[in-house]
Homo-oligomer: A and B are copies of this chain.
């Protein structure tokens, strides 16, 4: 997605530890006009599949998923990262290791909001090692729903998540795949 790549080149910055900071437009401050274009692009890429739910994970996936859901006319369900007393007892759970926060946390979704009749599109902002996305895939499997695909805004192509998930046979569409990056340069996969 050319608009997104240009924005990453203009406003993104690379920090030590393979961190790509895009928090001026994607995951702290959010440029809603750009995210609308991202939503349209996901709809274009997945226009041929039936989708009944968009599934994402808190926190930074939620806004992108909600804007995208407008183009599919379906509800969003967001997975939660810890037990909350406001959630009912009957839940799907999985464990996700966060490389960013260096800890393992439980990811949960109420069984009420995902069932075998659902056709699920996963949406998230980043794909690097694949931990979050693999957690969501595990929950979709447990629910018996059909996993139709996964839409990612930025994939770090030099980390293994994308390969692992494509090798599983999941239809994965990333709007920008970073081939390599350093503090001086950033290149996209063609």
Residues of A participating in the B interface, judged by any CB pair closer than 8 Å: 17, 19, 21, 23-25, 27-33, 35-36, 58-60, 62-63, 65-67, 69-70, 73-78, 80, 82, 84-88, 100-101, 109-110, 112-113
Which of B19, B25, B110 is close to A28, meaning CB atoms less than 8 Å apart? B110
Contact of A85 among B17, B58, B60, B78 (CB under 8 A): B17
In the bound complex, residues from chain B placing their C-beta under 8 Å from that of A77 are 28-30
Minimum distance in angstroms from A42 CB to a CB of chain B: 14
CA of A23 to CA of B78 in the docked complex: distance in angstroms? Answer: 10
Complex Cα distance, B69 from A70, in Å, reads 14
Q: How many whole Å from A183's CB to the nearest CB in chain B?
A: 15
Check B66 against A29 for contact (C-beta < 8 Å). Answer: no
Q: Which of these, B29, B75, B88, B113, contacts A76 with CB under 8 Å?
A: B29
Of chain B, the residue at the smallest CB distance from A30 is: B76
A30 touching B66 by the CB < 8 A rule? yes
Residues of B within 8 A of A66 (CB): 30, 32, 35, 62-63, 66-67
Residue of B with least CB distance to A81: B59
The answer to whether B19 touches A85, judged by C-beta atoms less than 8 angstroms apart, is yes
- Alpha-carbon distance A73/B65, docked complex (angstroms): 18
Complex Cα spacing A74 to B35, Å = 12
**Is A112 touching B63 in the complex (CB atoms < 8 A)?**
no
Further contacts, 16 of them, CB under 8 A, given A28-B87, A84-B101? A19-B86, A23-B86, A25-B75, A29-B112, A30-B78, A32-B70, A32-B75, A58-B59, A59-B62, A59-B78, A60-B62, A62-B62, A62-B63, A63-B65, A63-B66, A66-B66
Smallest CB separation, A36 vs chain B (Å): 7
